[in-house]
Amino acid sequence: MYYILHQTGDLEEVKKNILPLFEGREYELLKFPPAKNFDPGVDAVFITYLNDENLREFIPFAAENKWALGVLPHPENKYTSKGLGISEKLDVAVIEILNSEESHDLDILFCNDIPVFQSVNIGDVFALTESPVKNTFTTQVFSFLKNIRKFPTLTHRSFIISSGGERIIHTSALGIIVVEHPLNSVVSKRLIPANPVNDGMFNVLILSPQNIIELLWFLWRSLIPKKKPLTTLPEFIGQIKTSELKIENQTEIEYTIDGSTKSACDILLEIKPEALTLKQASVFAPEEKVTETKKSIKTGRLPTGEKREELTKRKLPLFPRATTEEFEDLFKVLRENGKITAPYIIMMVLSTLIATFGLFANSSPVIIGAMILAPIITPIVSFSMGMVRYDVNMLKTGIITIITGTLVALLVAGAVSLIIPLKLLTSEIDARLSPTLLDMGIAVASGVAAAYAHAEKGIAKSLAGVAIAVALVPPLSVAGIGIGWWDWDVFSGAFLLYLTNLAGIIMFAGITFLLLGFAPFRRAKLGLVYTLIIIILVMIPLSLSFDRITEEARITRQLEGTQFDDVYLKDVKVRFGKRLVVSVRLVSPEAIEGDIMGDIKEKIEAKVGKPVTLEVVSAIEF
């Protein structure tokens, strides 16, 4: 016997579109709600044509009485059909109910005694559950963009999470998503691997980002269609899989059950296994008996203690913010790094010796080894922290240590250049005599990397790579060689490169510490302004040098391969001095006479538009 349960206002719709599908079947129309003492008899099947709200009321009643149920898609049934995994087409759903030879017992998730068909959203989770209308990438992107305006008001809430009477964690989070199956939410699809349905468990995702940038990146990744979930959870997300959970808050918090908004201080979630007898096909119907599933708790990276308290007191920052504990740990390390110690002086001497010998030997590997040994990067980073914190003691200690290391390097390199009876401008030395804006770019990136490597304990090993990238000791060694040779051009060019690296690292290491939350901007702005002035002053000669290199490259391209009668210009090299010097190999079928050479010089001058000193190597092509 089929009992077709309908709402009062849907009677005409039922008679017109549903009853014809039951022709030849025994059925009875029943108005919702049925009487509490209603006795359907044996083998009865209730077929509902109800909206979500009435289904939430009826399904627990049907489950309590062990009634077999068939659910037809209703225009206002936007969550139940999806949550039960049944067809959303009326004719298909009727056929599946009528042809179903067996029933399926499905688990039901309850939140404060209300059945949940898709998800429970607690706090701010940006409506990233499945859309009640057709769910597409476009609709999800639109919802995401619409919710961006909430970002400036986001704040963590404190949650006490317990299970079976035992506290799991006291943490803070923007929001919590609860689903029975991974398919019930866009976020859970990305984070929870496929698991057995009807396993007596539900999944809880605790979203606890500590800055807006982190949240934005995650939410955007969640919207990008992917077939497989992420292999590892993002650091700011905790996951719990259990059959019963209690979430407490000191004040009432808003939460939604399948789009219906409610509020409470305590939220109790529990699974009632095999509570609903479904008499139709469902994607969540188990094909075989599900083996016992173990409880899973992954909350080790969620904020607790001082971190939790700080996150609940202020709005979610745009960039990461360090806690007092994190700042104190880093500050202690940097304060020690900024001091002059015997190992610091010894390593400066050794690294400078290796770099100087490598420069004379024209050996890149040796010079790289000197970069790794050089300890001067650490007091520079300490000085950067002192600058953004405006800590006078750290600033004094850092600058004294930097100056001491600089003088040690200059003296050692100068002494070596006096001892070695060579005054040869090797390519390694020459490469450090003409710094440009490109070197400032390297210094900027290195400053960011150095500060970040100090702030993040897990990547401290990359400091050696930072030292290689910024190359502080080699230009100092070249400057020392310039002192030993009493050559102003060598000293000034190399020392300008060193100052470029120094200013870039200090400025952008400080900015990185600022963005990571180790200092408020109001304290850092004075130090940043002074450093910016130094960088601007340094960039003036760098810009001129960069323009010179650009001009050299332009003239080289202009002349390379040029043909004057039977003479070809090959291997063109240009360098600026008191007069533009052009070195070139002239290739011709016969020896070039002096008057022809003069004509070629005039043609080159006409082509580049300025007088040149021509250095020629002549070659005859047979």
The residues, any chain, with a CB within 8 Å of residue 136's CB and separated by 6 or more, are none
Q: How many CB atoms lie within 10 A of CB 561?
A: 10
Q: 162 has which bridge partners?
A: 167, 246
CA-to-CA separations, 410 to 345, 406, 407, 478, 484, in angstroms, rounded: 13, 6, 5, 8, 9
The CATH number of domain 2-101 is 3.40.50.10330: yes
Q: 3-class SS at 128?
A: coil
The residues, any chain, with a CB within 8 Å of residue 219's CB and separated by 6 or more, are 126, 128, 144
Predicted pLDDT at 132: 46
Contact by Cβ (8 Å): 272, 63: yes
| Most confident among 52-61, 329-338, 602-611 (mean pLDDT) | 52-61
Which is it for strands 45-49 and 2-6: parallel, antiparallel or unpaired? parallel
524 or 401, higher pLDDT: 401
H or E segment to which residue 385 belongs: helix 377-389
pLDDT, tens digit, for every residue of 110-131?
A: 999 999 988 898 987 754 444 4
Contact by Cβ (8 Å): 321, 211: yes
Predicted pLDDT at 468: 55
Whether the per-residue pLDDT at 461 is higher than 50: the answer is no
pTM of the entire structure?
A: 0.65
pLDDT, tens digit, for every residue of 176-193?
A: 999 887 766 666 666 776
Whether the per-residue pLDDT at 521 is higher than 70: the answer is no
Provide the b/e sequence for 593-611 (b: ≥16 CB within 10 Å): eeebeeebbeebeeebeee
* Assigned fold of 324-549: Glycerol uptake facilitator protein (1.20.1080)
Q: 3-class SS at 10?
A: helix
Q: Across residues 163-185, what is the average pLDDT?
A: 85
CATH of domain 114-274+285-313: 2.60.200.40
| Most confident among 220-234, 385-399, 608-622 (mean pLDDT) | 385-399
With cut-offs at 50, 70 and 90, classify the pLDDT of residue 462. Answer: very low
Predicted pLDDT at 107: 87
Q: Which residue in the block uniquely carries the two structure tokens 């919207």? A: 223
In the chain, the largest separation of any two C-alpha atoms, in whole Å, equals: 122
Which of 127-136, 276-285, 290-299 shows the lowest per-residue confidence on average (mean pLDDT)? 127-136
